[in-house]
Chain A
């Protein structure tokens, strides 16, 4: 397994030269943006002047539109190339460093059907995007994950009859799936416990009445119970999955991430969602990128989920499932 010291040596030997080169590309893009902005100023001022003279906003709109369009067509290909190079040369290398057997596809994502199958979020999806798909096998456990952004839309009509579409996030962050080390038939959900935190004893009553995901499973670990609400179609099987040691491990993982993680156990697989507000594994445009701290951040975000196999002890294969 990797550690900071080795990461530092990887950074110094491999990543630093690549980053300096990429940083030149980045600086080039920023310079071009500045230059285009500068070139646009005079025509825009003139067009504003004309607009005031003829009392029509059209010339200004045309000129601003044109300058934005030209800048976009000139700069976008450069940005795309920089983006691609960054993923290939930096992110791929960090993943290889964490585990050699993992494969990485920057532009692919976990299928929408998998996101729906995991059942953690039940809102209908109108737009599903994602990237940074990682897949592979760690000992006997196969894993896959990617960044996901799932949204639904609503439409509002204002007083003038114009309709507008609003996009709302259902989930944004990492969707992770791994082969679980025990076989099971029913589905078990480990969800963030909001009702019990807010309403205490009454919250538990409310949860019991919510039968959409099966029965509420009350586990014996009070700390776990205050963080999560567990639902399952089978009281015994859910406890077979959530052994006392796994409960402890999930709790410590939650503390480690400090995020509202949620899990589900479907068809002998484990699904996990880790919400993030930032876009993950993306290159920066403004500011120097030759910086070990950035690399460490990418590394930590990646290894957090890859090391989950160790954290949750999924390579222990002492049960009938091999």
Chain B
């Protein structure tokens, strides 16, 4: 009788630990997504400033600049899903990358102190965004390990916790690194 009771208590404790572990990992993912979101907002704050600085110089890229403004407006409007948020961010990243490469054609702009400062800030924010993405991926990996490994996976199945995808760094993101290199030369 005592043995059965002991086993039951032991099992209950193990289940409680596993349960708390899973909840902990899930919350970490949410927290990391929040961290990433905060970094993205920094970039959104920077965009109007950047556009107003470059548009007097950049006549040929007027369309792209308008597109960026629109995308930004959509992104900060709220009521969009996480997935949309990620997509919008990818589009903005690629368009901004294009603008930064095009800057090479405008020596006046490149030499301007104001733009120089903005570019530094943008580099900084990009670096922070990339850091927060990696932090997010690390928590998702830890979450997925928890959800898929035996025996926690049984409990996770009952809690309807599913595999999450890590953030794939798009091709354009890698190009962004080159912008920094261009700036160096």
Chain A residues packing against B (C-beta within 8 Å): 182, 217-220, 235-240, 243, 316, 318-320
Cross-interface CB contact of B180 among A219, A238, A318, cutoff 8 Å: A318
Whether A243 pairs with B184 at a CB distance below 8 angstroms is: no
Chain B residues packing against A (C-beta within 8 Å): 32, 35, 39, 119-121, 123-124, 127-128, 130-132, 134-135, 137-139, 141-142, 180, 183-184
Contacts beyond the supplied A243-B127, A320-B120: 5 A-B pairs with Cβ under 8 Å: A182-B124, A235-B35, A240-B128, A240-B131, A320-B121
With contacts A218-B142, A235-B32, A243-B130 taken as known, whether A320 is within 8 angstroms of B135 at the C-beta atoms is no
Residues of A within 8 Å of B121, CB to CB, are 320
9 A-B pairs, CB-CB below 8 angstroms? A182-B127, A220-B134, A235-B35, A235-B138, A236-B135, A238-B131, A240-B131, A243-B127, A318-B180
Closest to B177 in A: A245
Whether A318 pairs with B138 at a CB distance below 8 angstroms is: no
- Taking each of A236, A240, A319, which has the highest tally of chain B beta carbons within 10 Å of its own beta carbon? A236
Cross-interface CB contact of B124 among A218, A219, A239, A320, cutoff 8 Å: A320
Distance (whole angstroms) from the CB of B129 to the closest CB of chain A: 10
Whether B131 pairs with A219 at a CB distance below 8 angstroms is: no
Residues of A within 8 Å of B180, CB to CB, are 316, 318
- Taking each of A220, A239, A243, A320, which has the highest tally of chain B beta carbons within 10 Å of its own beta carbon? A239
With contacts A240-B128, A243-B127 taken as known, whether A318 is within 8 angstroms of B135 at the C-beta atoms is no
Whether A239 pairs with B131 at a CB distance below 8 angstroms is: yes
Residues of A within 8 Å of B39, CB to CB, are 236
Whether A239 pairs with B123 at a CB distance below 8 angstroms is: no
Closest to A245 in B: B177
Residues of B within 8 Å of A318, CB to CB, are 119-120, 123, 180, 183-184
Whether A319 pairs with B130 at a CB distance below 8 angstroms is: no
Closest to B138 in A: A218
Distance (whole angstroms) from the CB of B52 to the closest CB of chain A: 19
Whether B138 pairs with A240 at a CB distance below 8 angstroms is: no
Whether B120 pairs with A236 at a CB distance below 8 angstroms is: no
Whether B32 pairs with A319 at a CB distance below 8 angstroms is: no
With contacts A236-B35, A316-B184 taken as known, whether A220 is within 8 angstroms of B138 at the C-beta atoms is yes
Residues of B within 8 Å of A219, CB to CB, are 134, 138
Distance (whole angstroms) from the CB of A71 to the closest CB of chain B: 61
Residues of B within 8 Å of A217, CB to CB, are 138
Residues of A within 8 Å of B123, CB to CB, are 318-319
Cross-interface CB contact of A236 among B124, B131, B141, cutoff 8 Å: B131
